[in-house]
Amino acid sequence: MHFDKIAALTRGVPHMTSLEGRVMYDFITTTGPQSVLELGFSHGVSTSYMAAALEQNGLGGHVTSIDLKTARANEPNIETLLTRAGLTGFVTAVYAHSTYVWELMRIIERQTSDGVCEPCFDFCFIDGAHSWAVDGFAFFLVDKLLQSGGWLLFDDLCWTVAEYHAEWDLADDEREMYETAQMTKVFDLLVRQHDDYGNIRADDRWGGGWGWAQKDAREADAGLLEGIYAAQPLRSHLHVLGRRFKRSLRSGS
């Protein structure tokens, strides 16, 4: 499916903008993954962009997307968006009772034979709990399932609980946790320090910040992300400048 069509079908639905969707779509059409894992789909906008790119590639491929059971009540929900786009055949939506780390355990069990877990995904997008406790653990679980040369993308590196719940009256012992960008901690302290990951890129131009990493990084892929980002239209660069200006106003700098 052409990008303009899926962008129109998802317009106005949270939580991925068309600028972010363009990068996601171009990454999928460029790298051609066959098995995609998504942790956190909410309304299914990011899922729709990925599924549309898989269809555009014409190579098959499938997205396994996991979120909480509460996401079923979203309006629209993931099934509604995928049905509108005619992309239901590219996605399996999994609704977890409490957390996607339990569902990852089930996948690892299915992929394990004679005590060895066989990796099965070549791209994973993590945009769910946004917490050190959940996503720090999820990284190591996903690592067992990610094939050599596969990519990880973390959303909301800069996101904090306090930023969106300024009205909360926090005790001193809670404040540090809620004011910390926990996904940045996951990315900097776990992913960057992991010997098996390279071709790392982190920036704040998309949403709350995106972080990329490739398992068993390939030299041939070193400039892949630069090429994708460089191809984005002028409006994406204006978007970056606008975000940085707003951030400077908030910080008073």
Task: Give the pLDDT confidence of 119-157 residue by residue, as tens digits.
Answer: 999 999 999 999 999 999 999 999 999 999 999 999 999
253 or 25, greater pLDDT? 25
Task: Give the pLDDT confidence of 54-106 residue by residue, as tens digits.
Answer: 999 999 999 999 999 999 999 999 999 999 999 999 999 999 998 999 999 99
pLDDT of residue 236: 53
210-215 and 197-203 beta bridge pairing: antiparallel
pLDDT reading at 172 higher than 50: yes
Closest CA to 159 of 191, 187, 200: 187
75: three-class secondary structure by DSSP: coil
Mean pLDDT taken over the chain: 90
Q: Which fold has domain 3-251?
A: Rossmann fold (3.40.50)
Going by pLDDT thresholds of 50, 70 and 90, the confidence category of residue 208 is confident
Closest CA to 68 of 45, 93, 46, 97: 97
Residue 68 to residues 98, 128, 161, 222, 245: CA-CA distances in angstroms? 6, 9, 18, 35, 35
Average pLDDT of 195-202?
Answer: 97
**Residue 39 zone, left/alpha/beta (φ > 0; ψ -120 to 50; rest):** beta
Residue 15 to residues 32, 70, 109, 241: CA-CA distances in angstroms? 24, 16, 31, 20
End-to-end CA distance of the chain: 44
pLDDT reading at 28 higher than 50: yes
Residue 145 to residues 50, 128, 215, 218: CA-CA distances in angstroms? 19, 18, 11, 18
Cα distance between residue 58 and residue 29, in whole Å: 10
Cα distance between residue 168 and residue 161, in whole Å: 10
pLDDT of residue 163: 74
**In sequence order, which ranges of the chain are alpha helices (DSSP H)?**
3-10, 18-31, 45-57, 78-85, 100-111, 132-145, 161-164, 172-179, 182-186, 224-230, 234-251
14: three-class secondary structure by DSSP: coil
Closest CA to 84 of 1, 23, 20, 198: 1
- Sequence length of the chain is 253
pLDDT of residue 35: 98
